[in-house]
Every structure is written in structure tokens, then in C-alpha cells.
Structure 1
């Protein structure tokens, strides 16, 4: 297990700074409040961290006013935990209550905004979701006819894309745990082992290294390569000449690592070795391009140019990386359509991929943080040549 992890949780000043930044942007955009309905956003502004979100039964709400602290409107089962955060105003009800699951409390909270025809920001864009029934939302709006809704997706996602030093410390720690776990793969995995057992061994090793959880572990294995990267593992045994890929999203204190490693079982053919080399060099190009002054698109193109040596049309994954933080994947997507600038504090995955042979693919992934000087690796860099077990 790794020693000297950062402190769990955050100081109250962290949440105060996040809220004040949001309120400054709200003022500039003419918003009188934000209503947040999904786990990462509620946690980002409150510190409310629980696995209870995995139950779909109850909705949870957090309101960020134009000034002052956020206000929680949550089921009573979460009130004791919310009182441990910096939130003072907690309004709760006994849930589930299908006839009134917090709606009357929200009506009371938002009525002053509606009466003065205030603008309420909600997240309606890409990679957003609402944890409440559509019928309840429609009923709420009907009861507040003066409320003016506005999309606040860019505001909130823009804040979350740039991490604080305290967030980066947590991300660095979980990436170190992920790296230490991958370093043990040659001890854990051998020819003849069922793929599902290899996955189980890796997950246990990650927990032993200090991860809180490994909720995401995918990959694949097959002769000369793999055909997809999201299927659950099966009983097929690893064989001579297989290429094995493991991609882990381990978490610590609510923050994720997300990177993969490729291994050859016994031996590797020349095509697989070449694919690995191209992706390793594409990642090097991405590392060089990942600096302030460049755009996300510049980063994408730098990796794509190297991938084109072997796969002129590129891979079929759809993007070459993404943001990373409280969620396994966050904004932005590293793609040709994304022209926003790279900023210090962004934590990203570099994830070049390509297709080769008869329907085979290969994916390589590293985790980085953007600094004033350029990219800094959070994951330990993969070997420059395809490792053989």
C-alpha cells in the first residue's frame, strides 16, 4: 500500500471558493440561482459524498443562490451526512414519497425567484442528466410560471474542468495506486489463466494497493489483439500470442484514475508490436502538445498525425481522450470538434487508439495534468515496447 496519502475531504475554503467562482459567473450571465440535480455537481459544491446515489429511488437537490452558501433539499436519510459538510440550510422530507418527493420544498425555495421573474440555471447540455422524474419537473414548472430557465452547462462544466491543487493531489494519489497495481500484473497473470480470473486478481491487487474501489475495469484479450474494449471478461484462458489489455478506473476519496496497459502473453507478432509503437509515439506527441496556448483540437491532431502512420482513417473510438476527476470521464472530449483552450489545472486522459489486422483494435492511455510548463504525467509512463508476460 502506498504511504502518505493526501487528507481526505476538503477544507471549507475549497467549497467556498468553488461557490464564489460560480456566483461570479452567475452574475456575469444574469443568473439568479443554480439548481443542481446530479451527484457530481451536488458533491462538487457541498462535499456530500455517498454511494447512496446508486439507489434510483430518491431525488437530491442543491440550490446555489446568487450570494451565500448553497441550500440542500434532500431526503431525510441523507440529512445527517449533509450536516457534516459546510452546508447549513438543509431542508428534508421523508422519502420516498411519490406524490411529493421534495417538490413542495422546491416550490417554497424557488417561489421568490419566480415572483420576480428570476433566471434559474440548470444543466441541459452534453454529459448531463437529471435525477428526478420528468413528471415532477413538469409539475414544479407549472407551479412556478414566472421562472425563467437558462442553460448553465458551460458554467458548471467550465469550473469543474480546472482542478484545484487539493483535487490534483487526490488524482495524483489514485494514479499512483493505479500505476503500482499495473506494475504487479506480471506477478498476477499468466498463460492459461481465465480472463475473468485475471480481472479479479487485478481488482484485488488495486484494493491492496490502497484504492477505495475499482468500480470500472474493462479490457480484452485475443490472438494478436482484441476486438473491443468494453465487454465483461469471460472464461476463455489466456493463450500464447494473445494481447491482453486492462483498463482501470480506480477511485480514492471520490476521485478517479483512468488508464490502461497492454501486455503480450508469451510472445507478440510484428503487427501488434508496431501498433503498440505507433500508439506509444502518438502519446508522446500528445504529451508535447498538451500545454497552455494550444487547444483541445491541437492536442487531438498531434496524436492523430502519428496514428495515421498505421491507420490513415484513425481509430473508431470517437475521441482520443477526455477529462478526468470526480467522474471516470468528464468534459472535455479530446476530439476534432473541441476548440476550447488547454488551461493549467486541467486533468486529462491521452487515449490514442487504432484499428489493424482483421477487426482488431489497440488502445493506449495515460493520465496527465496541464501545468504552466506543459503536461505532467500522473500515471507512470508505459514501457516504450510492448511488455511480454
Structure 2
């Protein structure tokens, strides 16, 4: 008997319901197997996650029956704790993991199986894809990236509860970061305060460090710049974009400010962004076109001439995420999309222009929209 206690993040019934929905989509697309390599998709269906996805891992979903987890043997204690999947096939370093995956496909689905793979996943490089193909010469390998990605967009009640907890963590992290911002402090001093607040409020994943952005002075033009030892000076602008992570489910919040008295231009820009985002969030609900929400965000920014063009997305999906990604590009809110919002979708809504930036994490509900991050939305006073 294993000495590792099983501590699933969701009930086996919820995992099985996800599996059944996935297999129903596979039947619709005439697939015999789905061979997953994207960590978020593996975790969503199996519960298995860790910081070792640099090594080969895959989850085989047959058209009927239970999944098979292909894992680095060293990671099996994690699978024992977090995964409901009992058919786990491990390899040792130096062995051939692609052969293990191909053998599982042939065993469960036959030599002539029609197998979908995620060709846009960074965790299935071309060399591995070709290797799997060479080991399954009679199989038909087809690209299918959307099945699990789309199913993941509608969150269950338990998933939303985890993101709600993450929202409290993100809000506490931003509040602590702003409180630590003063002339003479460094970005690393702010990072230390942020990390302490995250941990104190239940942040349970530091796989990628803080997981966010702390930039000051000229560095605020870097959208994803990381904290350094730079010392804050009077008049410096400051931008924090910080996550809370609970059970590997993310929420985010962004705030910007200036050390000292803000000038009228920054106050005006912040007020315009805040009002536009307030209007857009209030308009969110099931059936609302995402492009309409994008226009509610973009149009006031453009009309006020804060920026010549606003081509960035104003919202993107959040849920279960692994570094290096911290958001879901499959679920964007921009003016080009034809998607409509659905209850259970979770978004990081963000606007930035003219040195100002603001964001919140929200969930679309049957009644409209709920904020999952909290705190004052006026321009913060620091320094």
C-alpha cells in the first residue's frame, strides 16, 4: 500500500464527468484516441500536475474507458496524491517515453487508430511528434487542439470556488505591494512583501516565482518585465500585475500609480480606463458578444486620444494554468472575435494606456458578472 495519501482537488465524479464530455466530443469528431501533452489539459482531466513538465508526459484518452497516464517515474508520488487515474505507465530517465505512449495507443485503440494530438502545444515538439508517428505507422495522426481547451472554458462550481479564493490572494498581493512602495525601496523589496502576502493568504504555487510583474520608472513600458533591484525614486511610475493561485487555478489583478503627487494627465487616463472597464464589466453576461465588450473598453480610450490604436485584447480566459502561460489565449475578448459569453467563463479584464493600467478577474454568471478580485479602483496613493 502506498504511503502517499490521495488528496484529489475534485471528486472522482467530477473528473469522470469531464472524461465523458471529452469522449462525447471525440465521438463527434470520429476519433479513436486523444493523446494530450498540454499540462493544463492533462491536469484538468487527470488531476496530475507538478513542476516537471520539462520531461515527457502525456495523457491518453481512448474513445471508451479510462485514461492512461504516461509519466516520468520520478513523478509518480505526485500522481498518487493528486490523480484519480490508476493506469499510470512510468519511464526512467534514458528510456524511450514516446515508445511507451505509442504502445499504449496501439494496445487500447489498435494499430489503425485515428489519434488526435495538440500540434500547437509547446510540449509536443516536432521531434517527438515525428517519433510517435514513426512508432504508429498505420495510425492516422490528426491535429485537434480545441476539444479539451473548449470544454475547460466553462468552469464548474468547484473551479469557480478555487478561482474566487485565488482572487482574494491576488487582491492581497496587490495591496501589500502598493503598501511596500516608497522612495528608497527596491522592486525586490516590493516582491518580498508580495510573496509574504501571497503565502499568508493561501497562494500554493510558486512554480514561476511570484508569477506576475513589478515594474517601476522607465521599466513600466515593459509589459511583462520582472522585478529587479532598481531603487524607486520620487515621481516614479509603478505597475503591479499579480496573481493569486489556489489549487493551480489563477486570478489576477493589476494596478498602476506614481510615487508622489500624480499629474492631471495620469489622473485623467486612469479615470477613463476605470470608467470604460466598469461599463464593460457591467454589460457582461450570457449571450453578450465578446466584441461588444471589447468596444465598450476600447472606444472611450480611443475617443479620449489616450492612444492612436488599441489592438490589444481587453480580456482573456483564466483557470488552471501552468508557466510559462498565465492566461488562456483560446478565450480572448477583442474586437475581432465572434465568440459570445457564456455563464461559467472566467476572464482577466485589463486596460492600459498613457501610463495607467487597471484590471480585475471576473466570472460570467447567469445573472451577469461577478468580480473575483477586490479593492479600491481609484488611482492608488503610494510613496
Question: Contact 2:187/2:214 (CA < 8 Å) preserved in 1?
Answer: no
What residue in structure 1 maps to residue 334 of structure 2? Answer: 335
Partner of 1:313: 308
d(CA) in 1 for partners of 2:102, 2:200:
47
Task: Pick closer, same or farther for the CA change 1:104–1:380 going to 2, 3 Å.
Answer: same
CA separation of 1:263/1:8 partners in 2, compared to 1, >3 Å: closer, same or farther? farther
Stretches of structure 2 that go unaligned for 5 or more consecutive residues are 1-6
Deviation, structure 1 residue 176: 0.7
**5+ long unaligned stretches in structure 1:** 1-6
Equivalents in 1 of 2:193, 2:307: separation in Å?
37
1:202 aligns with 2:194: yes
Partner of residue 3, structure 2: none
Looking at structure 1, the residues matched to 227 and 77 of structure 2 have their Cα atoms a distance apart, in angstroms, of 39
Counterpart in the other structure of 2:289:
295
Q: Distance in 2 between matches of 1:204 and 1:143?
A: 49
Residue equivalent to 1:160: 152
In the TM superposition, residue 339 of structure 1 has moved relative to its aligned partner by 1.3
Which residue of the partner structure matches residue 62 of structure 2?
65
Cα RMSD (Å)? 2.3
Query: Following the alignment from structure 1 to structure 2, what is the Cα–Cα distance between the partners of residues 204 and 388?
Result: 19
Question: Which residue number corresponds to residue 3 of structure 1?
Answer: none
SS at match of 2:132: helix
- Out of 106, 119, 123, the residue aligned to residue 124 of structure 1 is 119
Where 1:286 maps in the other structure, the secondary structure is: helix
The answer to whether the 8 A contact 2:173-2:244 is kept is no
Counterpart selection for 1:82 from 40, 54, 79: 79
Cα shift readout 1:73-132 (whole Å, capped 9, x = no counterpart): 2222123332342112112222232xx2x232223222257756332111124xx3224x
Check whether the contact 1:32–1:120 (CA below 8 A) recurs between aligned residues: yes
Distance in structure 1 (CA, Å) of the matches to 2:131 and 2:230: 52
For the residues of structure 2 that align with 1:142 and 1:337, how far apart are their CA atoms?
39
Equivalent position SS for 2:381: coil
- State the shift of 1:69 in Å: 1.4
- Structure-1-length-normalised TM-score: 0.87
* Cα displacement (A) at 1:382: 3.6
Distance 2:278 2:21 in 1: 34
Residue 347 of structure 1 aligns with which residue?
A: 346
The whole-number CA distance in structure 1 between the counterparts of 2:241 and 2:8 is 25
Q: How does 1:374-389 map to 2 (within 5 A)?
A: 374-389=368-383
SS in 2 for 1:226: helix
So what's the TM-score if we normalise by structure 2?
Answer: 0.88
| Equivalent residue number for residue 91 of structure 2 | 93
Q: Distance in 1 between matches of 2:45 and 2:231?
A: 46
Please report how far the alpha carbon of residue 300 of structure 1 lies from its aligned counterpart in structure 2 after TM superposition.
Answer: 1.1
1:166 Cα deviation after fit = 0.6
Q: Are the counterparts in 2 of residues 37 and 60 from structure 1 also a CA contact under 8 Å? A: yes
Q: Give structure 1 regions of 4+ aligned residues with deviation exceeding 6 angstroms.
A: none
> 1:115/1:90 Cα in 2 relative to 1: closer, same or farther (>3 Å)?
closer
SS in 2 for 1:184: helix
| 1:108 and 2:107 aligned | no
Structure 1 Cα separation of the partners of residues 106 and 56 of structure 2: 20
Equivalent residue for 1:371, pick from 355, 360, 365: 365
SS, match of residue 212 in structure 2: strand
Return the alpha-carbon distance in structure 2 between the equivalents of residues 40 and 173 of structure 1: 19
Q: Give 1:186 shift.
A: 4.9
Question: Match for residue 4 of structure 1?
Answer: none
Q: Note the alpha carbon deviations across 1:143-195, whole angstroms, 9 max, x for none.
A: 32221223321211111111111111010001112212333345422222122
